[in-house]
Amino acid sequence: MNAAKQQNMLAGQSSLARKVFQVVPIQEPWSAHDIFNSLMVSEATGAQFPAVRRGLGELKEAGLIREPVNGHFQRTAITIKSPREQSMPKETQSAVVTIKKADTSALDTLAVLSGEVISFADEVGQRMKKLAARIEEVALSVEAERESNAAAIIKAKRLQEVLREFALDKLVSGA
């Protein structure tokens, strides 16, 4: 994987996954807990461990990190081409393809192109389904957080009411 491909793949990840990627080491594998602790120390995120673990899973699925040992993660190596390799022109395969296409009919060419379009549409559909699932997962976690916040507010109001009653009882009995 080259650096440009890595950046493009990383751009398609969630913000949490990008933050997790920044602390995943390149040289040696770290456990998920070590990565989580590193995130907490750097104060990069306030996410809980399950969310960080999910981010690690997304990065692994995308091929940005690997899991050489169960539960230990490491960045995938980036290949860097030397300036000589970059400047050397490569032989194009299109000349060979056009020679082959000259023997085929236009209908065959359309059939091949149609197959490519269908394949591309399938890939886009798969990606959209994954994105929709991730969006739904985040929405559910936001809803759960909202519900827990609402419950905490109710408890705080109850506590406030009990403290008011206690203060009134002390004033009435002390006066």
CATH number at residue 59: 1.10.10.10
The total domain count for the chain is: 2
pLDDT score for 91:
56
Final residue belonging to a domain, choices 21, 53, 75: 75
Instruction: Assess if residue 71 is contained within a domain.
Output: yes
One domain for residues 115 and 69: no
- The pair of structure tokens assigned to 157 is 């109001």
Instruction: Assess if residue 84 is contained within a domain.
Output: no
Instruction: Assess if residue 100 is contained within a domain.
Output: no
pLDDT score for 101:
47
Instruction: Assess if residue 50 is contained within a domain.
Output: yes
pLDDT score for 128:
92
Average pLDDT, the chain: 84
pLDDT digits (tens, 9 = 90+) for 9-34: 888 888 888 999 999 998 889 999 99
Instruction: Assess if residue 7 is contained within a domain.
Output: yes
Burial 150-174 (b: 16+ CB within 10 A, else e): eeeeeeeeeeeeeeeeeeeeeeeee
Instruction: Assess if residue 90 is contained within a domain.
Output: no
Amino acid at 129: K
pLDDT score for 156:
94
One domain for residues 121 and 167: yes
pLDDT score for 171:
85
Show the domain range for 52: 3-75
pLDDT digits (tens, 9 = 90+) for 86-105: 555 555 555 444 545 445 67
Question: Residue written as tokens 């985040």?
Answer: 138
One domain for residues 125 and 165: yes
Who's near 68: CB < 8 A, 6+ residues apart?
A: 29, 74
CB atoms within 10 A of CB 23: 19
One domain for residues 66 and 109: no
pLDDT score for 96:
47
One domain for residues 158 and 109: yes
pLDDT score for 95:
46
Low-confidence ranges of the chain (pLDDT < 70): 81-104, 175
Final residue belonging to a domain, choices 57, 75, 93: 75
Is the Cβ–Cβ distance between 49 and 56 less than 8 Å? no
Instruction: Assess if residue 91 is contained within a domain.
Output: no
Final residue belonging to a domain, choices 56, 75, 94: 75
